[in-house]
Amino acid sequence: MNRRQGAEGHFGLGGGMVSRQSRENLEKAEDLCRKKRPHEALPYLRKALDLDPENLDAMIQLAFLAPNLASSVKTLENAERTGRSVLQRELGDDCFDDDGESVGNFWMLIQTRPYMRVLQALVKLYWDTGKYDKACDTILEMMRLCPGDNMGSRFSVGTHLISCKRYADALFFCQQWLTEEANGKGVPPPRGGTAFKAPHRNTMAVKKEKGYDWTPTGILYSAALASFKHWGDCEQSRQYLKMAAKANPNVLLKVLGNVKKPSGFNNSPRSPNGPEDAQDYLYLSQDFWMEPDVWNWANDNPDVKAAVLKVCSRPDCGAREVRVAEYKRCSACHLVSYCSVACQKDDWSRHKPECSEYKKRKASVRAFSMAKAVPIDSPYPMFTSDMLSAMPDL
């Protein structure tokens, strides 16, 4: 959630732990960075930290403007130490202890939010600098502190565990988030799925398997990859792969099409299991899927081919791809594919309204995510819900 909305938009960063003047300078710097004017942003960040040396969000922004990755990591590690001291002062010395009152409720305690954002930024920088063990340890700590996972860390935990060759743990983690309690009812597993035990080798009934179309990309693909790495080519790994391919074929379209790995995360608004989610997953995981044994396993799977070989979107055509990514997609929405320019032109009058509707929805979500006014012609009302277990004093 954008910090300028929700509880922190009303009460201030960390519930008011950061001074208003420091926050205002941070926001000016962030706006300049969005406009690709980082050198103009630096004085505002320094002013923000001069006014309040405990402004962790200013430290995060400063880290990403550092001249090199080593300096960025050092800045964030300092921010983590500062944040830990701040929380021990605000919430008590036991706030990081399993038997304390805070662990398990981070993020719901508004004071913890800047610290959690520091950890999230550290995960990315540790990954970018090849410190995979540290990235993994940090993201597991985020799940321990906040099992409800308000920041969406669970979508990449499996990849981080796989990067450290912890295949059994990665599979167990994904299985915890694929249970009916977690995936269907929204009840997080113990310690956010990090109370590691041996994974099971069960498969699902076909009828039950159909209920997972909206399960997040990162969970399903990590389950398939971890199961294959741990058990080999078996019924369970093939079933997870089938479910993943059906839920978000965009991942395997890129992998089997030998498309170049993304250079970074996709910061655009998104709908569940769309191309943006696929890009984020592939940014972290594509190298693992391009390993010859994994690639051949996926490429030889008939269920995968059924999911990724597209049928021409013109209703009266019905032609099907022979090879992956053969057909061209609509450049505006990427929702439909055509076997020829002729089919695309013939179908435009039918597709135009849904294409326009998609673009309006995406523009509305983009504006909302950046704390800007939703376009006047948008038919979509936008709301935010931000629940807290501990409200700051008014």
CA distance 357 to 333: 10
pLDDT beyond 60 at 394: no
Domains and CATH numbers, the chain: 1-146 (1.25.40), 152-308 (no CATH), 309-393 (no CATH)
pLDDT beyond 50 at 392: no
User: At a CB cut-off of 8 Å and minimum separation 6, what does 100 contact?
Assistant: 92, 94
More confident residue, 158 or 186: 158
Indicate the average pLDDT of the chain: 90
* Neighbour tally for 58: CB within 10 Å: 29
What's the rounded mean pLDDT across residues 353-376? 74
Share of the chain above pLDDT 70, in %: 91
The DSSP-derived string for 329-382 is EPTTT---EESSHHHHHHHHHHHHHHHHHHHHHHHHHHHHHTT-PPPTT-----
Query: pLDDT digit string (tens) for 262-301?
Result: 999 987 767 788 888 999 999 999 999 999 999 999 999 9
